[in-house]
Every structure is written in structure tokens, then in C-alpha cells.
Amino acid sequence: MRKSVKRAVVIGTTLAVAGVASAAWASWIANGDGTASAKAGTAQELTTNVVTTDATLYPGVTGDSTISINTPNPYPVKVTSIVWNPTDGVQATPVDGKTCGNTGVYFGDFSQNNIGSNGVLSGLDLEIGKGTSAQFTLPSSVHMIDNSEDGCQGATFSIKVHVSGVSNAS
């Protein structure tokens, strides 16, 4: 074989080996930069029917109330507090022919005494499934003081409240 042909074969073989080696090296290393993204949903407000008394109240007595809470959220919710603003008052639906302007009914935690918790039920653990409603009985949460009007006898009381909760997704 001639020298020039041998030289060409050696150079060609060297280039081929180098090309294969660099291709093999390149197939193992792959880098890049970019940005991953996701969009958070927006929490929807919980809705309630007003709290209604679930007890036969009379002056000086504490009773339970009932509340129905709805969550339109696609995740379960844990209600942690229910707050009544005393300036909202308590609405009464009196028995026909009677009036009940001064209900004397208050909302809060009356489990310890007749003074209550100034309209706040906190530390609650009321669970509502995703996109559903649930009804809860709130023990010792309404109290009728001694100066309720006589026209409030037999009345049904409704109490406007604000409900707070957190995601209960696991």
C-alpha cells in the first residue's frame, strides 16, 4: 500500500473514532434552562344560611343553635370560627299577632357562663366536603337575657354571622 493511502486510512479512522466518541459524549450531556409554571385557583367564599336557634329559649336560658354552611370550593374546608357582630342584632319571627322588637338573644360561647364570648365561636373543627353543604349544631351558642319582650314568646330567631375556614385538603 502506498504511504498516502495508509496516511488517508489512518486519518479517516482517527476522525471516525473521534466523531463517534464525541457523539457518544454529547448524548450523555444535555443541559438547559427554563421555567415551570402552574396557576393557583382562587378560594371561593363560604356561604351560610343564617344561624337559627335550635332550643326553646326563655329569659336566663342558654341553648344550641343550628347553621348550614356551603362551600363551592373544589377541596374540603375546615370551619375554624363563626363570628356574630352584635350591631347586626338578632332577627325575630314572632308568633302571629305578637311583636318582638327587643329579643334579648345573644350569640357566642356560653358554655362557661352567661356572659359569653362577645359573639365569637373559635377553635372550631367543622369539616365540610368539597363542593357540598353541611349542617351543624353549635352547643351552648345562644343565650336569652332577662329583659326579652313578652312578644318574643314562641318566636324563631335568626342570627347573621361570618364564617371563617381553611383548606382541609390532605
Domain boundaries of the chain, sorted by first residue: 47-167
Higher confidence at residue 3 or residue 53? 53
DSSP strand pairing (120-128 vs 91-93): unpaired
pTM: 0.74
Average pLDDT, the chain: 83
The count of C-alpha atoms lying within 13 angstroms of the C-alpha of 51, restricted to the half-sphere facing its C-beta, is 30
Domain 47-167 has CATH 3.40.50: no
How many C-beta neighbours within 10 Å does residue 66 have? 16
Give the residue among 89, 87, 88 at the shortest CA–CA distance from 104: 89
Q: Is the pLDDT of residue 15 over 70?
A: no
Partnered with residue 54 across adjacent β-strands are none
Does 33 have pLDDT greater than 90?
Answer: no
Residue with cell 381553611: 166
Cell matching residue 158:
335568626
List the Cα angle 113/91/128 in 5-degree steps. 70
End-to-end CA distance of the chain: 78
Rounded to an integer, the average pLDDT of 67-80 is 92
Give the pLDDT confidence score for residue 40 in this predicted structure: 77
Helix or strand (DSSP H, E) at 135: strand 133-144
- pLDDT for 79 equals 93
Query: What pLDDT does residue 19 have?
Result: 57
Residue 144 φ then ψ, to 5°: -105, 125
C-alpha grid cell, residue 54: 335550635
- Look at 113 and 50; give whichever has higher pLDDT: 113
pLDDT (0 to 100) of residue 69 = 92
For cell 351558642, name the residue: 141
